[in-house]
């Protein structure tokens, strides 16, 4: 067995559970984290991630920590009995400091006592690194004051192999606390069980895609599986507001309604920092026919005494006849062959996107299977008695949606006449005010019906593009709407396949990725070589990286139409 090497250093964090909170309970500074050669899979010594928040979120003294966790577990409510024929398959647990959410977390982990699992997946948040990726800790393990929890190397490698969009980037994990704080509870209830550590960064479609990938990986797996999603809920509202927000999201989780949870978050009806991991968990649980039960709902006021700015916590148990779900395609089957990546990202003012650091890029990789997206090609207008041009139908739906949402009303349910709105394909919605970019967010690959995606991306572009303040209802009158419907991704075997002006290109190399929409090259006056050199830079890579080993290129086309046609 390889030795595990401790690597890096890590900051102390806000024990309340909120990173980027309003100036409270700050302890420590972010230290420079440097990974050496030992941080790679197959190195002489596999990396052991150091505990980042021991001494702040929980005691760093092993005896003190052990006694505290034992006490929290002893005081937690007795585990609820699963329904006949069912078994525990999943948990949602909080990840704040133990003084705040330790009791709630203990209630969930107490249900694990005396049980055995062949695979454990821990799905965490990326509060700090800003990576737009889903990263799997590849080998070694996570250290704690109670000892290290080893990584399940076989399961981790299998998950990485199932979706090329997943990365093995240790730096995404080093300063993060959302998985670390769960480990002492896991150790006390299950022992030093090898686990798969996943940091689910980027946009929400990352979580949905990770869930689909997990379904494929687990299909046909003969052993028993546990999936734990780590999340806190509403942040810094008064107790009554926090409870209402949390109840709205918990209701969707209990219904296994991932789209509903995502929609509630988009409308500001609920909040949870670990949305991506919960979406992945719900995607698997829905397919498995699981049942969800709320064990605990509470907030930080019980410990802090502050009822004006609280953080919400909830513990939810999932039970089913077992995982994986019957009927899911086995990994390696044609339906499970993963193509490159999807992304949910804003586009720069030059209609560029990429994964270079900066607030204006949020590329979020996610799996998409070959053949799942229709080759729509150019959308032909479909006029007929009682029907609208498809372009106009889409544009009208977007404006109607924005008028409602920006007025504080529920997002309307639009019934699209054209059946192509039920197909799944990538789409971007761009908002321009007097010719200047005002917001742009989209999906590189289809993960939902086009009609639904157009509405959701419109709301996201208007309210969640991190480069801009939210669009107001008054502004909307001055804004022009543009929609880009994307074709499926096609792997590039030869650079000669890329046609400037026709093709957008996605570049992936390691944990870096970048994408240009098809319009970029012609708008900038670039030839193919210049186009690709700039794509390297947008991905945060040196020029020429697209031709280096490990680089992957994918091309796609787009049908672009708007209210203000050129």
Q: In whole angstroms, give the CA distance from residue 256 to residue 59.
A: 35
What is the pLDDT, as a whole number, of residue 117?
Answer: 93
Domains belonging to the chain, first-starting first, are: 4-58+88-196+204-320 (3.40.830.10), 339-562 (3.30.700.20)
Q: Tell me: the pLDDT tens digits for 451-499?
A: 999 998 999 889 877 678 889 999 999 999 999 999 888 999 999 999 9
Q: Residue 207: count other Cβ atoms within 10 Å of its Cβ.
A: 29
Q: Predicted confidence band at 510 (pLDDT cuts at 50, 70, 90)?
A: low
Per the DSSP assignment, residues forming a β-bridge with 49 are: 142
CA–centroid distance for 256 within its chain: 17
What is the pLDDT, as a whole number, of residue 515?
Answer: 81
How many Cα atoms occupy the beta-carbon half-sphere of 139 within 13 Å? 17
What is the pLDDT, as a whole number, of residue 466?
Answer: 65
What is the pLDDT, as a whole number, of residue 566?
Answer: 53
What is the pLDDT, as a whole number, of residue 25?
Answer: 26
Place of tokens 């900051």: 11
Q: In whole angstroms, give the CA distance from residue 269 to residue 261.
A: 9
Token pair, residue 365, equals 């990789």
Question: Quick check: 365 pLDDT over 50?
Answer: no
Q: In whole angstroms, give the CA distance from residue 179 to residue 184.
A: 10
How many Cα atoms occupy the beta-carbon half-sphere of 126 within 13 Å? 27
> Under 8 Å CB-to-CB from 58, ≥6 apart: which residues?
65, 68, 97, 98, 102, 181, 184
Question: Quick check: 553 pLDDT over 50?
Answer: yes
Greater model confidence, 63 or 420: 63
Q: In whole angstroms, give the CA distance from residue 223 to residue 323.
A: 8
Residue 447 in contact with residue 208, Cβ under 8 Å? yes
Rounded to two decimals, the pTM is 0.56
Q: In whole angstroms, give the CA distance from residue 49 to residue 273.
A: 22
What is the pLDDT, as a whole number, of residue 79?
Answer: 72
What is the pLDDT, as a whole number, of residue 16?
Answer: 58
334 CB burial (10 A radius; 0-12, 13-18, 19+) = exposed
- Number of continuous H segments (helices) and E segments (strands) in the chain: 15, 22
What is the pLDDT, as a whole number, of residue 282?
Answer: 97
Q: Tell me: the pLDDT tens digits for 310-348?
A: 999 999 999 987 665 433 333 322 222 222 223 333 332
- Candidate from 27-36, 276-285, 320-329, 511-520 with smallest mean pLDDT: 27-36
Q: In whole angstroms, give the CA distance from residue 322 to residue 334.
A: 24
Q: In whole angstroms, give the CA distance from residue 492 to residue 355.
A: 20
**Mean pLDDT of all residues in 109-115:** 92
Q: In whole angstroms, give the CA distance from residue 143 to residue 139.
A: 12
Question: Quick check: 142 pLDDT over 90?
Answer: yes
Q: Tell me: the pLDDT tens digits for 179-236?
A: 999 999 999 999 999 999 999 998 888 899 999 999 999 987 888 999 999 999 999 9
When the pLDDT of each residue in the chain is averaged and rounded to a whole number, the result is 79
H/E stretch holding 299: strand 291-299
Q: In whole angstroms, give the CA distance from residue 52 to residue 12.
A: 6
What is the pLDDT, as a whole number, of residue 212?
Answer: 93
How would you classify the pairing of strands 119-124 and 225-230? parallel
Residues in the chain, overall count: 566
CA-based radius of gyration for the chain: 23
Q: Tell me: the pLDDT tens digits for 52-103?
A: 999 999 999 999 999 999 999 999 988 776 777 789 999 999 999 999 999 9
> Under 8 Å CB-to-CB from 199, ≥6 apart: which residues?
124, 125, 126, 129, 131, 134, 135, 137, 172, 173, 176, 179
Question: Quick check: 547 pLDDT over 80?
Answer: yes
**Mean pLDDT of all residues in 396-416:** 93
Query: In this structure, what DSSP letter does residue 127 have?
Result: S
Q: Helices 183-190 and 62-75 sit at what angle, rounded to 10 degrees?
A: 70
Residue 290 in contact with residue 90, Cβ under 8 Å? yes
Instruction: Select, from the ranges 338-342, 369-373, 536-540, the one with the highest average predicted confidence (pLDDT).
Output: 536-540
Place of tokens 């055995």: 116
> Under 8 Å CB-to-CB from 182, ≥6 apart: which residues?
93, 95, 105, 109, 122, 228, 230
252 sits in the region (left: phi over 0; alpha: psi -120 to 50; else beta) called alpha
What is the pLDDT, as a whole number, of residue 376?
Answer: 34
Q: In whole angstroms, give the CA distance from residue 353 to residue 363.
A: 8
What is the pLDDT, as a whole number, of residue 47?
Answer: 72
Q: In whole angstroms, give the CA distance from residue 346 to residue 464.
A: 9
Q: Quick one: what percent of the chain has pLDDT higher than 90?
A: 53
| CA angle (253 as vertex; 82, 427 as ends), nearest 5 | 140
């Amino acid at each position: 067995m390889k030795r595990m090497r401790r690597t890096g250093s890590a900051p102390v964090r806000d024990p309340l559970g909120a990173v980027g909170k309003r100036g409270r309970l700050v302890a420590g500074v972010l230290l420079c984290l440097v990974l050496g050669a030992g941080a790679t899979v197959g190195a002489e010594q596999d990396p052991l991630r150091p505990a980042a928040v021991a001494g702040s979120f929980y005691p760093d003294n092993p005896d003190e920590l052990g006694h505290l966790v034992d006490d929290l577990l002893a005081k937690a409510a007795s585990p609820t009995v699963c329904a006949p024929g069912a078994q525990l398959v999943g948990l949602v647990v909080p990840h704040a400091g133990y003084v705040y959410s330790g009791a709630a977390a203990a209630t969930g982990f107490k249900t694990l006592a005396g049980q055995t699992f062949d695979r454990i997946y821990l799905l965490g948040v990326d509060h700090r690194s800003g990576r737009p990726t889903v990263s799997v800790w590849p080998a070694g393990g996570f250290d704690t004051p109670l000892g290290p929890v080893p990584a399940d190397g076989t399961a981790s490698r299998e998950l990485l192999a199932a979706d090329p969009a997943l990365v093995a980037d240790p730096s995404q994990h080093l300063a993060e606390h959302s998985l670390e704080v769960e480990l002492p509870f896991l150790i006390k209830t299950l022992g030093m069980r090898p686990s798969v550590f996943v940091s689910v960064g980027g946009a929400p479609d990352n979580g949905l895609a990770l869930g689909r990938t997990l379904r494929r990986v687990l299909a046909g797996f003969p052993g028993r599986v546990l999936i734990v999603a780590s999340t806190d809920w509403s942040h810094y509202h008064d107790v009554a507001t926090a409870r209402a927000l949390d109840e709205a999201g918990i209701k969707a989780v209990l219904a296994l309604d991932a789209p509903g949870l995502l929609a509630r978050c988009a409308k500001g009806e609920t909040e949870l920092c670990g949305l991506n991991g919960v979406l992945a968990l719900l995607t698997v649980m829905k397919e498995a026919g699981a049942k969800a039960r709320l064990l605990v709902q509470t907030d930080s006021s019980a410990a802090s005494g502050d009822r004006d700015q609280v953080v919400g916590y909830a513990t939810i148990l999932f039970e089913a006849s077992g995982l994986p779900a019957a009927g899911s395609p086995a990994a390696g089957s044609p339906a499970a062959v993963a193509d490159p990546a999807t992304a949910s990202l804003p586009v720069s003012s030059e209609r560029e996107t990429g994964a270079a650091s900066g607030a204006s890029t949020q590329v979020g990789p996610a799996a998409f299977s070959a053949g799942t997206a229709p080759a729509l090609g150019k959308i032909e207008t479909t006029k007929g008695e009682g029907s609208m041009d498809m372009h106009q139908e889409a544009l009208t739906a977007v404006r109607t949606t924005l008028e409602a949402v920006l007025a504080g009303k529920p997002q309307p349910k639009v019934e699209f006449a054209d059946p192509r709105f039920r197909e799944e394909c990538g789409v971007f919605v761009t908002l321009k005010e007097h010719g200047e970019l005002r917001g742009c967010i989209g999906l590189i690959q289809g993960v939902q019906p086009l009609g639904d995606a157009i509405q959701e991306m419109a709301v996201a572009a208007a309210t969640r593009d991190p480069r801009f303040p939210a669009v107001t209802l008054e502004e909307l009158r001055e804004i022009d709407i543009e929609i880009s419907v994307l074709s499926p991704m096609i792997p590039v075997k030869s650079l000669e396949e890329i046609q400037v002006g026709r093709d957008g290109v996605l570049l992936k190399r390691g944990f870096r990725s970048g994408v240009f929409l098809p319009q970029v090259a012609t708008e900038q006056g670039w030839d193919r070589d210049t186009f690709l050199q700039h794509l390297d830079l947008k991905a945060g890579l040196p020029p020429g990286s697209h031709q280096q080993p490990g680089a992957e290129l994918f091309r796609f086309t787009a049908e672009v139409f708007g209210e203000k046609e050129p």
